[in-house]
Amino acid sequence: MPTIDHAGTYTLGDRQVRRLGYGAMQLAGPGVFGPPRDRDAALAVLREAVSSGVDHIDTSDFYGPHVTNQLIHEALSPYPDDLVIVTKVGATRGEDASWNPAQEPAQLRAAVEDNLRNLGLERLDVVNFRIHPGHLGRDEHSIADSFEAMAAMQAEGLIRHLGISNATPAQVAEARAIAPIVCVQNQYNLAHREDDAMIDELAADGIAFVPFFPLGGFSPLQSASLSTVAARIGATPMQVALAWLLRRSPNILLIPGTSSVSHLRENLQVADIELPDEVIGALDAIGTDQD
């Protein structure tokens, strides 16, 4: 069994969680839409994650929609006392599997209620407000109305802690001026390091940073460089990318996703991977590689 304790822990709100978590997005059908190809296999992955020591699961009711939350409820309820379920709101799915913004206060409340119902909870541990991307990626605009609605639901007791996702530094600051946040969930990896300064600032304030797409957006040269390093130390590229993230900063929490028990075990093994200084240097250089 993977020894994920070797990756250490970090504070998420008022809970200590292991830095290796699990992201449930891939449990839904193709394109994160519809039911899984193998429902029993999806349930087995969730149970294996928790039995392996994972105490931090990332999900959303717009995965499916509703699919991953219903699977989590079926597989794990009644939930272990130490399990933290983090969800997100800010989008809906169209009948054509499209991802559509749902950022208005009434839409956010409906999403929170959907998450509560499908997870079988009376209060959500952590809810990330996910800012809908513009056509060029992150879209710099005020999120005050939306985040004030999130803070109001927290005051009502529907949400324990708040986070924010797909946010610029200005939007993180705007959210923090409205209510405390416990995590930021953004794309960040070896090749995309726009949030380097943000990670360090959040670490200084005891706020977790949760990167998604650990292998997303790599150029062919960057992918080849990563594969070369991985072969040198006898690991997979995904394992090396995750191990680098663990090494990058102590406030980074990982949520690698998979629908396979064997791949889950492979991901959790990164806690035991040690990266020598010369390997770190080669990995750091990937961020400067070009096509």
- What is the biggest distance separating any 2 CA atoms in the chain, rounded to whole angstroms? 53
> 252 — phi, psi (to 5°)?
-85, 125
Integer-rounded Cα radius of gyration of the chain? 18
- The residue annotated as part of the active site, out of 10, 63, 79, 188, is 63
**Is 22 among the residues known to form the active site?**
no
| One-letter amino acid of 209 | F
- The residues assigned a catalytic role are 63
